[in-house]
Amino acid sequence: MTRVAIVTGGSRGIGKAISLALKEQGATVAANFAGNAAKAAEFTAETGIPTYQWDVGDHEACIAGCAKVAADLGPIDIVVNNAGITRDGVLHRMTFDDWNEVMRINLGGCFNMAKATFPGMRERGWGRIVNIGSINGQAGQYGQVNYAAAKSGIHGFTKALAQEGAKFGVTVNAIAPGYIDTEMVAAVPAPVLEKIVAKIPVGRLGHAEEIARAVAFFTSEDGGFATGSTMSVNGGQHMY
């Protein structure tokens, strides 16, 4: 059976690797993006995967965007909440807007996407939701009270929704990536990045494909016994 999947922030970085992994797994994939239309067009030309623009932090836009994907491709079986931003700064310099925007997109986006798709999965008796958290939501990180709180919230959201979905065939899991070599990490100043890599037992940054393979396990047909879990994929940087 061909499943229909949406990957938020699915046209670049980790999301691009996830979109490709799900396509390879046999799903019909739609990649959402926020505003980088040039990158999205390049992605579609390269992969053949269609892209859909909306802001995952906007509740109504998520409802409308998911309805459009379903009308084009069929009922949505798989959602990967990958879209995320950073607005780093120490608390005494962080603005309310920095806080709110990260919570709105990184955590609110998961709620909005679930509201748009979970009821249908529940009715049809099959669904897969994978939320991309972060090592920094597990361990905290200097200068990231907003991001760490939102990502930590994702882990709680995952466990709560997994309980609601379990008897309806809907699994909800999270991946907590460590530091992955994407544009988000390229924005970290080089001296800071060197210190980070020195703390990773495997001695390198991760690759987006390594996160995508973990997502593909959770979304697979035979992944149905895994729910409410958080898989850490971090090179051994944080173990618990």
The footprint of ligand NDP (CB under 6 A) covers 8-9, 11-15, 32-36, 39, 55-57, 82-85, 105, 132, 134, 177, 179-180, 182-185
* Cβ-based nearer residue to ligand NDP, 57 or 127: 57
Pairwise CA distance, residues 226 & 7, whole Å: 20
Pairwise CA distance, residues 74 & 60, whole Å: 20
**Least distance in Å: CB of 77 to ligand NDP?**
20
**Coil, strand or helix: which one is 151?**
helix
* Cβ-based nearer residue to ligand NDP, 165 or 206: 206
Vertex 70, ends 64 and 71: CA angle to 5°? 90
**Least distance in Å: CB of 177 to ligand NDP?**
4
The single residue of 52, 147, 179, 240 carrying the catalytic annotation is: 147
**Least distance in Å: CB of 51 to ligand NDP?**
9
Determine if residue 143 is left, alpha or beta; phi over 0 gives left, psi from -120 to 50 gives alpha, anything else beta: left
Q: Is 147 a catalytic residue?
A: yes
* Cβ-based nearer residue to ligand NDP, 58 or 224: 58
**Coil, strand or helix: which one is 180?**
strand
Non-local CB neighbours of 8 within 8 Å, separated by 6+ positions = 15, 32, 56, 79, 80, 81, 82, 83, 109, 113
**Least distance in Å: CB of 64 to ligand NDP?**
13
- DSSP string over 86-133: -----TTT--HHHHHHHIIIIIHHHHHHHHHHHHHHHHHT-EEEEEE-
* Cβ-based nearer residue to ligand NDP, 126 or 231: 231
Annotated catalytic sites, by residue? 147
